[in-house]
Amino acid sequence: MHSDATAAEKRDQKALMRRAFGLLRRAALPDRHHLGWAVLWLGCAAGLEVIGPLLGKRLIDEHLLPRALDWTAMSLLLGGVVLTGWAASWLRYLQLTRLSGLAMRSVQRLREQVYGHVLRLPMAFFDRAITGQLVSRVTNDTEAVKGLYIQVLFVILDSTIVLIGTIAAMAWLDWRLMLIVVALMPFVLLIVWLYQRLSAPAVTRARQLRSDINAQMAESIGGMTVLQANNAGQRFAERFAATNAEHYTQRVAEIRANAWLLRPALDMLNVVLLAAVIWFFGQRGGSGALDAAEVGVLYAFINYIARVIEPLIQITMQFSQLQQSVVASARVAGLLDEAGAPEHGKPRGKAAANAAADGPAIAIRHLDFAYIDDQRVLHDLSLDIPQGAFFGIVGHTGSGKSTLLSLLLRYYPARHGSILMNGVPLDDIDIEQFRADVGLVPQDPFLLAASAYENIDMGRGLPRARIEAAARAAHAHDFITALEDGYDTLLGEGGSRLSSGQKQLIAIARALAGEPRILLLDEATSRIDSQTEQIVQEALNELRGRVTIVAIAHRLSTIREADRIVVLNHGRIEETGSHDTLMQIEGGLYQRLYLLQQLAA
C-alpha cells in the first residue's frame, strides 16, 4: 500500500517535471541560441579556471624549486594565473547577465500568455477559481519560474561544468589522488542533505507564514470599513504581530541550522580533504623529501579542492529551489492547460446583425440548464422577445433569473434547447460582433481605478463624443461634469469617489456607449434610491423601441412599465404579461410579490 503510494508520488513527480520543463522550453524557445552560447562560454570559463592552478604548478616546478629565477617567464606565468582567474569570473558574469535576460524575457512572455489565457477562460472556471490564487499564478508562480532559469539552470550548469573540468584536470595530474577526492565527495552531499532535512520544516513554515502575512494584510485592507466600524484594529494588529513574530522565529531557526551544521561541517570536510591529500603525499614521499615535481601537484590539488566542494554545495542546495520552481511551473502549466471558452476557439461565425431582422430579437427554445449535473436550474424555458421590446424578468431569490441572463450572455453553454438572436443560434454568432451587439449593466457596476472617461470607454477606444452622448443618455453627464476634472477625474479604486447610484449610472453609460441592439440589466436598481431609480427608468424609456431591453429586477417598480413581465418560479415560467394583466391574476405570484413590496415600502 505504502509502496503503491510512493510509486504514484514518483509518477506525479515525473509528470510535474515534464510539465515544468515543457513550459520552460516553450517560453525560452525564441531565445534558445542564447542558451547554446551560455553553455559554450561557461565551458570556456571553467577551462580558464582549471588552467590557473596548472600555471601555478609550472611556476613552482620550473622556477621556484630549481631556483631558476627567469623573471620574464615567471612574470608571464604569474600574469597568466591572474588573467585566467579574472577572465573566468568576467565570462561567468557575462553569462549570468545573458541568462538573466533570457529568464526575464521568458517570464515576460509567460505572463502575457497566462494573462491572455485567463481572459479567454469560460465563466464556469471562475465559479471554482479563487482570485488570490489566480493572481498568484500570474505573478508569483511565473516569478518562481524565473528562479528555475537563473538560480537553478545557471548555477547547476555552471557548477557542473566547473566540477567536470576540475576533476578532469585532477585526473590528468594524478588519478589516484583524484580518486581520494572523489571518494570523499559523497560526504558533501550527505551534509547538505542533512542540513536540508533539518531546516526544511522551518523553511516550509516560514513560507506559509509569509503568505499568511500577505493574506492578513489584503483581508484587512479589503475590509477596512468593517474593521474600523467594529473597533477591531487592536485585535487585528495583535494577530498580525503574532504571525510576524513566528515568521521571525522560523527564519532564525533556518539560519541557525546553516550556522551550526552546514558551514562548520563543510569547512571540516575541506580540512579533512586537505589532510587526506597531504597525508597521501607524505606516504608517497616515504622517508626522503618530496619529489620536486610533486610540490607543484600538491599546490594544484589544494587549489582544486575548493573548486570541487563549492560547486557540489551549490548543486545540492539548488535542489530544494528546483523542487519549488518545478511545482510553481507545473501550476502555471496546469492553468494554461485549462480549456478556453469554446467561442474563442471557433472560426469567426456569422454576424447576427446581418440576419433577418423581422423575427424576434431573442428566441429561447426549450432551454434547460444545470451548473451541476442533476441539479437543474432552468426547466424547458421558451420565450420570444420581439425587436425593440422591453421585457422584465422577476421571481424569488434563486428562481434562475441571473442564470438566464448568463446564458443570454454566452457565459455558459445551454445543456438542452437553444437561444437564437435574430434567428441565428448564439453559438454561431461571431463572439466579437455578439459582444458589440449586446450590452450589460451588471448588479455590481465594477469600476476601474481610472477616470470617468476610461470607465465608460472600457478600453474600446470610442470617440469622446460617443462617450458623452452615452453619459447623457444614462443621465450621468451632469454629475460627471461637476467633478473637478470632469470626464478626466480619477474615480478611485472600485469607483470609491462615487455613490452607489452614480456608479450604476456610469455602468449604464458604459453599456450604452457600445450602442447595443440588446441591453441586459441584472438588478441594476437594487442598490440605488428611488430618485436614481426614476432616472434609470427614464433612461430606459428613452431607449424603448430602439433597443431590445431585458431587465431583471427585484424592485418591481423598475419594470412596471415593461411591455411584458416574465415571472420565474424554480426555473420555470410561471406567468407572463404586462403589469396590469399580471396584477389581475388573483393569488398569482406576481401579484403576491408586488403586494409584499408595497407593504414593505
Ligand X SMILES: Nc1ncnc2c1ncn2[C@@H]1O[C@H](COP(=O)(O)OP(=O)(O)OP(=O)(O)O)[C@@H](O)[C@H]1O
- Say which residue the cell 411591455 belongs to: 563
Asked whether position 325 contacts ligand X by CB under 6 A, the answer is no
Please, which residue, 398 or 545, has the CB nearer to ligand X?
Answer: 398
Asked whether position 397 contacts ligand X by CB under 6 A, the answer is yes
Q: Which stretch binds ligand X (CB under 6 A): 322-330, 395-403, 463-471, 578-586?
A: 395-403
- Say which residue the cell 611556476 belongs to: 59
Asked whether position 445 contacts ligand X by CB under 6 A, the answer is no
Please, which residue, 133 or 541, has the CB nearer to ligand X?
Answer: 133
Please, which residue, 122 or 514, has the CB nearer to ligand X?
Answer: 122
Cell of 99: 541568462
- Assign 3-class secondary structure to 435-479: HHHEEEECCCCCCCCCEHHHHHHCCCCCCHHHHHHHHHHCCCHHH
Q: Which of 392, 395, 445, 501 binds ligand X (CB under 6 A)?
A: 395
The dihedral through the CA atoms of 219, 223, 227, 228 has a sign that is positive
Taking the C-alpha atoms of residue 561 and residue 539, their distance in angstroms, rounded to an integer, is: 13
Taking the C-alpha atoms of residue 346 and residue 207, their distance in angstroms, rounded to an integer, is: 42
The nearest distance, CB 30 to ligand X, in angstroms, is: 39
Please, which residue, 254 or 522, has the CB nearer to ligand X?
Answer: 522
Using DSSP bridges, classify how beta strands 572-577 and 424-425 pair: parallel, antiparallel or unpaired: unpaired
The nearest distance, CB 254 to ligand X, in angstroms, is: 42
Please, which residue, 129 or 168, has the CB nearer to ligand X?
Answer: 129
Please, which residue, 377 or 470, has the CB nearer to ligand X?
Answer: 377
The nearest distance, CB 400 to ligand X, in angstroms, is: 4
Asked whether position 525 contacts ligand X by CB under 6 A, the answer is no
Taking the C-alpha atoms of residue 538 and residue 535, their distance in angstroms, rounded to an integer, is: 5
The nearest distance, CB 404 to ligand X, in angstroms, is: 7
Please, which residue, 394 or 476, has the CB nearer to ligand X?
Answer: 394
Q: Are 563 and 413 in contact (CB under 8 A)?
A: no
Q: Which of 92, 247, 401, 564 binds ligand X (CB under 6 A)?
A: 401
Q: Which of 22, 222, 398, 492 binds ligand X (CB under 6 A)?
A: 398
Asked whether position 131 contacts ligand X by CB under 6 A, the answer is no
Q: Which of 402, 534, 537, 576 binds ligand X (CB under 6 A)?
A: 402
Q: Which of 399, 532, 548, 558 binds ligand X (CB under 6 A)?
A: 399
The nearest distance, CB 552 to ligand X, in angstroms, is: 7
Asked whether position 127 contacts ligand X by CB under 6 A, the answer is yes
Which residues lie across from 451 on neighbouring strands? Answer: 490
Least Cα distance to 313 among 232, 210, 194 occurs for 194
Q: x/- site string to ligand X, residues 374 to 393, per CB under 6 A?
A: ---x----------------
Phi first, then psi: give them for residue 367, nearest 5 degrees.
-85, 125
Q: Which stretch binds ligand X (CB under 6 A): 97-105, 396-404, 487-495, 580-588?
A: 396-404
Asked whether position 122 contacts ligand X by CB under 6 A, the answer is no
Which residues lie across from 394 on neighbouring strands? Answer: 567
Please, which residue, 377 or 474, has the CB nearer to ligand X?
Answer: 377
The nearest distance, CB 412 to ligand X, in angstroms, is: 8
Least Cα distance to 422 among 434, 432, 431 occurs for 434
Residue 380's SS3 state is strand
Asked whether position 558 contacts ligand X by CB under 6 A, the answer is no
- Total number of residues that touch ligand X (CB under 6 A): 12
Q: x/- site string to ligand X, residues 290 to 309, per CB under 6 A?
A: --------------------
Q: Are 595 and 576 in contact (CB under 8 A)?
A: no
Please, which residue, 69 or 600, has the CB nearer to ligand X?
Answer: 600
Q: Are 520 and 440 in contact (CB under 8 A)?
A: yes
Sequence-distant (≥ 6) Cβ neighbours of residue 44 within 8 angstroms: 91
List b or e across 300-328, with b for residues whose CB sees 16 or more CB atoms inside 10 angstroms. bbebbbebbbbbbbbbbbbeebbebbbeb
Please, which residue, 78 or 129, has the CB nearer to ligand X?
Answer: 129
The dihedral through the CA atoms of 430, 435, 436, 439 has a sign that is positive
The residue ranges that bind ligand X (CB under 6 A) are 127, 371-372, 377, 395, 397-403
